[in-house]
Amino acid sequence: MQSILSIKNVSKTYASGFQALKSIDLEIRRGEIFALLGPNGAGKTTLIGIVCGIVKASSGTVTVDGHDNVRDYRGAREMIGLVPQELHTDSFETVWATCTFSRGLFGKPANPAFVEKVLKDVSLWDKKDSKIMTLSGGMKRRVLIAKALAHEPDILFLDEPTAGVDVELRKDMWEVVRALRAKGVTIILTTHYIEEAELMADRVGVINKGELILVEDKAELMRKLGKKQMTFELQQKLDAVPEALAPYKLALAADGRALTYTYEAQGEHRGVTRLVEELLRQNIRLKDIATTQSSLEDIFVDLVRKDG
């Protein structure tokens, strides 16, 4: 698939001397939802800032659908919508004025019907005449989203779009994101709610200490790095794991009434069959069996920990 955004060898050292990004290479595919994950201070907002032309890169290039984002800043910026992480919305302006102004700023002709639809999509229509400073935090975030959508961007950056918003808005947000994707908009989001990335993303990138340590299809990532656990609930209490079962590295529950086996989700499953046979041979009677699979969150925590 053709990439719509090309980030090549981008580094950033802030004036303080702190290196926030170390030669980042990343290609974003047209129409995908890409989730950028990483701990606090990893460099996510810095990278988004560079792509959007808010932060100056120390080196490297960013090309947005063929427009170099420095030499052809306007061409690149026109394509991008940004929902920033920080709320700078202590404005006397009304919701309506802010959104229509944002459209004009990006050289799009006035289209009140479209702005109305956007405001309805984010449940702000009844607040259209309110001054932004009079809105609650979550409503202000909705304004930022509406503002970014008002100029119909081809690429939408959502930097922690659901931080501090209620469950209702979070659901609305994901509806909006899905609808945008269906229209062909490319979406790049950061989130600390990893289950959101698990739910929404086509691909996942993990950034840690300014380095992109992984970029992978979400499904592939979960297949490759995912772990499964099988828990055997026992009819009788065990004091210790029998010697014959040692190779399976089973964990015995504190009450001695359950054994847990952990294995690679991708691996061959003959191990499970052999284990069950061995349990029967050992005369261990089972009451129930349950399996669980690791989440993207488990994988993420593992990756970042390994990266030290």
- Binding residues for ligand ATP, rule: CB under 6 A, are 14, 16, 18, 20, 38, 40-46, 85
Strand 67-68 relative to strand 59-64, pairing: antiparallel
CB of 143 to ligand ATP, least distance (A): 20
CB of 3 to Mg ion, least distance (A): 23
CA-wise closest residue to 283 among 244, 253, 254: 244
Residues 78-97 that bind Mg ion (CB under 5 A): 85
d(Cα 113, Cα 174) in Å, to the nearest integer? 22
- 26/245 with CB nearer Mg ion: 26
CB of 140 to Mg ion, least distance (A): 17
Residue 208 lies near Mg ion (rule: CB under 5 A): no
Structure tokens at 208: 């840690």
d(Cα 72, Cα 61) in Å, to the nearest integer? 12
CB of 173 to ligand ATP, least distance (A): 18
Q: Order of strands across the sheet with 155-159?
A: 80-83, 155-159, 186-190, 33-37, 203-208, 211-217
Residue entry with tokens 């709320």: 87
Q: How many Å is the Cα radius of gyration of the chain? A: 24
Count CB-CB contacts under 10 A for residue 196.
19
CB of 17 to ligand ATP, least distance (A): 9
Decide which of Mg ion, ligand ATP, none touches 84; Cβ closer than 5 to 8 Å per partner kind.
Answer: none
- Each residue 32-71 as x (binds Mg ion by CB under 5 A) or -, in order, gives ------------xx--------------------------
CA-wise closest residue to 170 among 185, 160, 183, 180: 160
- 163/272 with CB nearer Mg ion: 163
- 17/184 with CB nearer ligand ATP: 17
Decide which of Mg ion, ligand ATP, none touches 127; Cβ closer than 5 to 8 Å per partner kind.
Answer: none
CB of 238 to Mg ion, least distance (A): 48
> What DSSP state is assigned to residue 131?
B
For Mg ion, the binding residues (CB under 5 A) are: 44-45, 85
